[in-house]
Structures are given as structure tokens and as C-alpha cells.
Amino acid sequence: MLSESNLASELSMGRTPVREALARLEWLGLVEVHARRGVQVSGVDIIRHLELLEVRLPLEKALVAHVVERATAADLKDLQALAQDLSEAAAQSERDNYFRVKRSLHETMLRAAYNPVLTQTMRTLHAQSRHFWFTYERTESFADAAERHGLIVRSVSERNLKGAVTAVEALFAFLVAMTKQALERRGPS
């Protein structure tokens, strides 16, 4: 259990911004706030993550459709560079860098969609997914995941909507399979 006042002291901040940050993290499902006891990082629920992937899939398809239609040449160049960076981080099995680059790739894709409502919705869903992937994504899967993200970027860069949607569907089939493998590794509860 973490205490709000200890966090504020450790971060050299007032309690109000810490309380607001914790409220946001609680809203995202990343922490549980227990009155008069403290704050605890939430556990990872694999079944909930499968449900999250069901919700994300149609939104990711909408996202790539907007990016295909609206991305600027500079946006596409940034996406291509990040896809390359992700492949390199995956090849080097650099866990922290891999997750940092993957987050940057997602953020750049959201920016290139030019739809603030979709961006805000997807940021929330991506934050919840990151909680799962930090816990369960094995380093051995990085290269396959990076390749699938690269196929999405390639199709988007070619303004190939059908190819981008197909690549998103392939990525999500892969993500669902990895999530189910995590469930199998965990065994019966």
C-alpha cells in the first residue's frame, strides 16, 4: 500500500496534484484507492484484457482509416521512422525501449488521425492495454509484434485502407492469441 502523503513527499509535490493523478489512475483501472489505508496498484485481469481488445479492434480500424485519409507527409515519415525504431528495439530485446517506442508509435498514429475524440478514447484504452502488456508480453514476441505494427504503418503510408485494416485485424488476432497464452500460462485460479 502506498500513501498519498508519502507519494507527495517523495515526488516533492503538493497532495492535490497527487490526489488528482491517483484519481485519474483509479478511473483508468490502474490503481485501487482504499480509504484510510492507501493506494494499491491494480492487478491485471486477463479476461478484462480480452474484452478490452474486443472494444479496441473496431476503433483501431477507424483510426487507420482516418490516418490513411488525413495524415500529412510529415506524419507518415514520423510513423515510418518509429516503425523502424520499434523493429530495432525488438531485435535488441530492449524491453523498456521497445515499450517506449511502441507508445510513441501509438501516439503518433493518434495524432495523425486528426480526431480529438478518438484520440482521447484511444489513449485511455492504450493505457489499460499497456498495464497488461508490461506484465505479460514476453520478449520473444517483440519481433512478431513489431513486424505486425510495421505492416500497418506500411499500408497507411501507401494510403492503402484495405491493407491497413487487414493488417490491424492480423495484429489483433496475434494480440488475442498472446493474451490467451498468458491465461493458459497462469493456469486455473
pLDDT of residue 23: 81
Identify whether residues 169 and 123 lie together within a single domain. yes
Identify whether residues 92 and 125 lie together within a single domain. yes
Identify whether residues 25 and 55 lie together within a single domain. no
Identify whether residues 79 and 54 lie together within a single domain. yes
pTM of the model: 0.81
Question: How does pLDDT run across 26-47, given as a tens digit for each residue?
Answer: 877 777 888 878 888 777 788 8
Nearest CA among 164, 148, 147 for reference residue 112: 164
Identify whether residues 31 and 119 lie together within a single domain. no
Residue with cell 498514429: 109
Identify whether residues 35 and 55 lie together within a single domain. no
- How does residue 187 score in pLDDT terms, banded at 50, 70 and 90? low
Identify whether residues 103 and 87 lie together within a single domain. yes
Is residue 142 predicted with pLDDT exceeding 90? Answer: yes
Quote the mean pLDDT of the chain: 91
Identify whether residues 32 and 67 lie together within a single domain. no
3-state DSSP assignment of residue 179: helix
Count of domains forming the chain: 2
Q: Which residue blocks in 12-160 are alpha helix, DSSP H? A: 15-27, 46-70, 73-91, 95-113, 116-136, 142-157
Question: How does pLDDT run across 69-118, given as a tens digit for each residue?
Answer: 999 999 999 999 999 999 999 999 989 999 999 999 999 999 999 999 99
CATH number of the domain enclosing 156? 1.20.120.530
Identify whether residues 18 and 60 lie together within a single domain. no
Bigger pLDDT: 43 vs 66: 66
- Those residues with Cβ within 8 angstroms of residue 131's Cβ, 6 or more apart along the chain or in another chain: 29, 30, 42, 44
Identify whether residues 130 and 156 lie together within a single domain. yes
Identify whether residues 24 and 106 lie together within a single domain. no
HSE, side-chain direction, 13 A CA sphere, residue 128: 21
Identify whether residues 91 and 166 lie together within a single domain. yes
- How does residue 186 score in pLDDT terms, banded at 50, 70 and 90? low
- Those residues with Cβ within 8 angstroms of residue 139's Cβ, 6 or more apart along the chain or in another chain: 93, 95
pLDDT of residue 66: 98
Is residue 188 predicted with pLDDT exceeding 80? Answer: no
Q: Which domain holds residue 145?
A: 46-186
